[in-house]
Amino acid sequence: MDILEKIVVDKKRELHLKKNVIPLKQLETSFLFQRATQSLASALRNSKTGVIAEHKRRSPSKSVINQNESVQDIAIGYMNAGASGMSVLTDAKYFGGSLDDLILARAAVDFPLLRKEFIIDEYQVIEARAYGADTILLIAAILTRKQIKVLSELSKSLGMDVLLEVHNEEELVKSIMPSLDLLGVNNRNLKTFKVDLETSISLSQQIPNEFVKVSESGISSVDAIKMLRELGYQGFLIGETFMKTSNPGESAGQFINQMQR
C-alpha cells in the first residue's frame, strides 16, 4: 500500500467519525455557509503573477516544514505580498493541518481560499463551504470519473470553484468535464514524492484552454514560472518555498516582486 492509498484509508475512517459528531444540517446552518464566495479562477485570469501561496506545516516527504508561524499571520502576509489566493492544508495526520486553519485564515483575509484536502465524499464539500473555502481540490488519482462529476457539481451548486489535480495523461483524459474551473498538474508524484516539472510541460498542450491551467509543486524560481507561463499556465501553487522560511509572507513578497521585474 503506497502513501496515497494509506491516506485514503485513514480519510474514510476520519469521515465515519466526523459524520457521527457533526451532522450535515449543522454544517449547512453555519454562518460562513451563506457568505458570498470569491472565484479563484477569475482571480488567476486577472492576475499578473498567478501565485497561489500555500500554508503547510509538514508533509510525508519533508516531515516538519514550519510549525511556528500562525496561520492568520501567514494569510495576511500572503495577501499583502500580492498572492492571487491561498491554499490551506486541512489534513491533520499527514500534513499537520486542520479545518481550524481554514476558518482562521478566512477570518484574517479577504481573497480566495482553496481547501487542500483529500476529498472523497460529499460531506467534505459541504464542510469546505461551511468553513470558508472558495475553492475545493479534487485529486483524480483517488476518484473515479463519476465521483469527480458528483463532487464537482455539488461544489459548483454551492458557489465554489473546483481545482482538479492530475499527475498524468490518463488522469487528465478521464477527468475533463464542464463542472471544473481549474486543471492543476501536480509535479510531485504522490506515490513516490519525486518532483519533476516535466509533468507540467508534457501535459500543458493537452489541457483545453477553457480551464485555468495551474502548475503545482516543485516551483522554486521565477524562471520556472516564466517558462510555465509560456506554456499557458496562469496559476502556480507554491508552498514549501515560502513555508520553509521564518517569514512566509515576506518570502512570498520577495518572490512576487522578482516576478514583476
221 annotated active-site? no
Catalytic residue among 11, 39, 56, 152: 56
Catalytic residue among 87, 217, 240, 251: 217
56 annotated active-site? yes
5 annotated active-site? no
Catalytic residue among 39, 84, 87, 116: 116
Catalytic residue among 117, 127, 171, 216: 216
Report which of 160, 156, 148, 153 is spatially closest to residue 119, judged by C-alpha positions: 148
Helices and strands (H, E) in the chain, number of each type = 12, 10
Catalytic residue among 59, 66, 186, 251: 186
216 annotated active-site? yes
Q: What is the distance between the alpha carbons of residues 127 and 133, in angstroms, rounded to a whole number?
A: 9
Q: What is the distance between the alpha carbons of residues 249 and 253, in angstroms, rounded to a whole number?
A: 6
SS3 for 252? helix
Catalytic residue among 11, 39, 54, 187: 54
The DSSP output letter for 87 is E
Per the structure block, which three cell numbers stand in for 181? Answer: 474551473
Q: Which residues contact 157 (CB under 8 A, 6 or more apart)?
A: none
Task: Residue 255: count other Cβ atoms within 10 Å of its Cβ.
Answer: 24
Q: What is the distance between the alpha carbons of residues 3 and 1, in angstroms, rounded to a whole number?
A: 7
Catalytic residue among 117, 127, 165, 240: 165
169 annotated active-site? no
Is residue 107 within 8 Å of 156, Cβ to Cβ?
A: no
The DSSP output letter for 36 is P
Is residue 167 within 8 Å of 190, Cβ to Cβ?
A: yes
Q: Which amino acid is at 144?
A: T
117 annotated active-site? no
Distance of CA 168 to the CA centre of its chain: 18
Residues in the chain: 261
116 annotated active-site? yes
Catalytic residues: 54, 56, 116, 165, 186, 216-217
